Amino acid sequence: MPDLDIVKNLLDVKKRIKKVSISCRRNPDDVRLVAVSKKISPEKIKTALDAGVGILGENYIQEAQKKIAGFGNRDVSWHFIGHLQSNKAKLAVDLFDMIHSVDSFHLAESLNREARKNNKNMDILVQANVSGEHSKHGLDPNKILQLLKEISSLSNLSVQGLMTMPPLSDNPENSRPFFALLRKLRDELASSELKYICLKELSMGMSSDFEVAIEEGSTLVRVGTSIFGPRN
């Protein structure tokens, strides 16, 4: 895709975020755009950065490692949004500003250990599997309170909120019940005995359904295709 299309797409996505935020009486500034750059070339990513992207989302540690090294001088946050294995915890902590996909205490412990070595406070989200699909990563919603309690003993992790991915569908309305569930879960957890844990972020919504996600309370939309075009 020519670079001009990326700039135009980005403006269009930002405009849509603003429009839907206003129409549901939310402050557009409360919705942050994570431009998902997995499998996208550094040239295209540079175009997006020059056009004002402030957060990039990556799914694969090794791929991200190369890219992040090449953009070391840029003022951009890198978010890890893919499935993470504990044996990659060190790289994940070294490379990323936020990890959206924590779904076990084992992984949380590994991240905490590495964060402590780096003297870093690692921002994380807990990924919930609200659809119950077996193929999906993420934790059963009924187990999240327990995980949050356990994580609260890990001094170098800072839980910022929850993340989810509904089943793929070509109708964005099919995602709405899952987004609503994540928000309800967050609200319940936030009023539980974990009051001291901050759950302000809801990472939900992708190219096909980010507007519905914003209507349901999303604070981080993860948009790839609508900005960069189809991935190879």
Cα separations (Å) of 148 from 112, 142, 154, 199?
Answer: 14, 11, 10, 10
Residue pair 182/204 in contact (Cβ under 8 Å)? The answer is yes
Q: Is 224 an interacting residue with respect to ligand PLP (CB under 6 A)? A: yes
Site residues for ligand PLP, 33-62, by CB under 6 A, read 36, 38, 59
The Cα–Cα gap between 70 and 172 comes to 35
Minimum distance of ligand PLP from residue 227's CB (angstroms): 8
- CB neighbours of residue 43 within 10 Å: 9
Minimum distance of ligand PLP from residue 218's CB (angstroms): 12
The Cα–Cα gap between 195 and 163 comes to 19
Q: Is 206 an interacting residue with respect to ligand PLP (CB under 6 A)? A: yes
Q: Is 81 an interacting residue with respect to ligand PLP (CB under 6 A)? A: yes
Q: Is 111 an interacting residue with respect to ligand PLP (CB under 6 A)? A: no
Residue closer to ligand PLP, measured from CB, 34 or 189: 34
Minimum distance of ligand PLP from residue 191's CB (angstroms): 27
Minimum distance of ligand PLP from residue 223's CB (angstroms): 5
Nearest to 81 by CA among 1, 199, 14, 163: 163
Taking CB positions, which residue lies at the least distance from ligand PLP? Answer: 224
Q: Is 139 an interacting residue with respect to ligand PLP (CB under 6 A)? A: no
Q: Tokens 């948009």 belong to which residue?
A: 223
Q: Is 225 an interacting residue with respect to ligand PLP (CB under 6 A)? A: yes
The Cα–Cα gap between 213 and 42 comes to 28
Positions that interact with ligand PLP (CB under 6 A) = 36, 38, 59, 81-82, 165, 206-208, 222-226
